[in-house]
Each structure stands twice: as C-alpha cells, then as structure tokens.
Homo-oligomer: A and B are copies of this chain.
Amino acid sequence: MSDKAARKKQLILDTAKKVFAEKGFKDVTMKDIVEACKISRGGLYIYFENTEQILEEIIEHEATQRDDVFSRSRKDCTAGDILAIFLKEQKKELLSTKDNLSVAIYEYLFWKHSRNESCKREQDRFSSAVDVLTHLIENGVENGEFYCDDPEGAARNIMYVIEGLKIASGTYGITSQDIDNELLYIMSGLLAGDE
C-alpha cells in the first residue's frame, strides 16, 4: 500500500502548493491544507508534522522537477542564446501569479533565518546558479560573444537583480515591461564590448 500512500502524499503536496502560492507561508495553517485537500485532520499528520515540513518537501520536489536550462541546452547554442533562454525562463516565472511560490519561500527563509536556522540548501542553490552563469559568461567571453572583465561579478549581479525583481513582483507588483527593461540592461552590459 506504499504506492497508494505515495500517491496520497503527492496529492497533498500538489494541493498544498496552490495554497502556499496563494497565501504565502505564515498564513497557511494545517487546517487550510486539510480543507484544501479534503482529507481528515488526523490524516494529514500521518504524512507531515507541520506546514514547514510540507513546504520543504514542495521546494525539494520543485527543484527536482525543474528542468535545468543549462543542462538542457545543446551544443549548437551560443552562450548568448543560453543566457537569453535562461532570462526568458526567469521572466516567465516572475510573471506567473498562480503557482508562484516565491513569496512563500521568502517568508519561509526569513522565518528560518530569524530563528538562526540555516538555509544552506537555498544558499547553495544561489551559489551554484552563480557558478553556472559565471562559466557561461566565461565561455561567451572566450568565443568573443560577450565582453566582460569580471564574469563572476556579472553573474552575481544578474542573480541579485533577479532576486530584486522577485521581491518587486511580490510586493509592489511588476509589469512585463519592467522585467524586459532589466533583462535587456543585463544583456546589453555583456554585449557592450561589441560596440
């Protein structure tokens, strides 16, 4: 029956994801999830102890499922193409209001951090993204596509801007145009050497 259990657990995660996307992290109660899943109060506790654990598994699961732009990219793509695809991907995520977990994740990370619990995983995710971008930019520089003195600095700059955009999207709101402006600015900075 472990199969059935796994399916139920997945059902909970899928449903809970919508709840987190809608209400963030702190406002979501076990009761909310129980009701959204239409299962019994006790039933939820068989699988998860609290909302924290649920969100963690959702994040974990997301990370696994998220197909990596970089690993997917083929040999015949230039660094510029890959970066463009990556940025387009980010834009899509920034604009998705439904299903957008970023606010929930921020709230969750704020909360962990304020309790002095580390969020190593998220930090790693950030650094590894920086690493990948760094390599990409280096490649671009090598084959003359990009012009950049400090690939790592540029990579970090891109990632911080993306964080900033996520925040803007979860607070004041952000338009498609706003995002384009930022992403174009980034691209043009790397291509500036062409001039």
A interface residues, Cβ below 8 angstroms from B: 22-24, 26-27, 103, 106-107, 109-114, 118-119, 122-123, 126, 149-150, 153-154, 156-157, 159-168, 170-173, 181-182, 184-186, 188-189, 192
Decide if the interface of chain A is mainly helix, strand, loop or mixed.
helix
Residue of B nearest to A22 (CB): B114
User: A-B pairs with the 6 shortest C-beta distances?
Assistant: A160-B164, A163-B164, A123-B172, A109-B171, A26-B26, A153-B185
Residue of B nearest to A122 (CB): B172
Query: Is there an interface contact between B164 and A181, defined as CB atoms closer than 8 Å?
Result: no
For residue A150, which residues in chain B have a CB less than 8 angstroms away from its CB? 185, 188
For residue A154, which residues in chain B have a CB less than 8 angstroms away from its CB? 185
Query: What 19 additional pairs, Cβ within 8 angstroms, besides A27-B114, A106-B110?
Result: A24-B110, A103-B110, A103-B113, A103-B114, A107-B107, A107-B110, A109-B170, A118-B172, A119-B172, A122-B172, A126-B168, A150-B185, A156-B182, A157-B157, A157-B161, A160-B164, A161-B161, A163-B168, A166-B167
Q: A106-B110, A168-B160, A172-B119 are in contact. Are A27 and B26 (CB under 8 A)?
A: yes
Cα distance, A118 to B172, chains bound together (Å): 7
For residue A157, which residues in chain B have a CB less than 8 angstroms away from its CB? 157, 161, 182, 185-186
Q: How far is the CB of A151 from chain B (nearest CB, A)?
A: 11
Query: Is there an interface contact between A181 and B153, defined as CB atoms closer than 8 Å?
Result: yes
